[in-house]
Amino acid sequence: MVRPAHQADVSGIQDVAERTWHETYDETLGTDVVDEVIEEWYPEEAIEEGISHEAQDFVVAVDDDTVVGYAHAGPHPPRRVHELYRLYVHPDYWGQGIGKALLADTEQALYDRDVSSYEAEVFASNEEAVAFYEATGFEQVEEKATEFKGVDVTERIYRKRL
């Protein structure tokens, strides 16, 4: 079931973030970098702010009462577009359609906000994410080499019209 995130979901969101980031990025970024990202991007107050922010949409997928995935979208002023900030599914639940369900719910929320298109950024090395975005109607609009926390990476920006 996909529903709007609540403050009570914060620890579940943190758990999904930690498990997914380590599963996905330990080999390419290193465990220390992943730990730094988790600490910097996922403190309780940051997640609570995203959940309660009026201009953002934050949804969770739950199995019984356990958070197994989440998506978070909102304005991205530097590019003057809306962006899918995050979409992650716990590794134990990969391949079950949860990502697509989270994406559908997020797209409905964006559509209801009168957003006509939005973007998602992904590391090119994350083959599963690249395949997911391309299979769900996103088109690559940019690719750039950059540095992320001291690691050289290639980022892709995808855009999708609603």
**DSSP secondary structure letters along the chain:** -EEE--GGGHHHHHHHHHHHHHHHHHHHH-HHHHHHHHHHH--HHHHHHHHH-TT-EEEEEEETTEEEEEEEEEEEGGGTEEEEEEEEE-GGGTTSSHHHHHHHHHHHHHHHTT--EEEEEEETT-HHHHHHHHHTT-EEEEEEEEEETTEEEEEEEEEEE-
Given a cut of 90, whether residue 45 has pLDDT beyond it is: yes
At residue 43, the pLDDT reads: 97
The model's pLDDT over 10-34, given as tens digits with 9 standing for 90+, comes to 999 999 999 999 999 999 999 999 9
Given a cut of 90, whether residue 79 has pLDDT beyond it is: no
pLDDT band, residue 153 (cuts 50/70/90): very high
- What is this structure's pTM? 0.94
At residue 80, the pLDDT reads: 85
- pLDDT > 90 in the chain, percent: 98
pLDDT band, residue 78 (cuts 50/70/90): confident
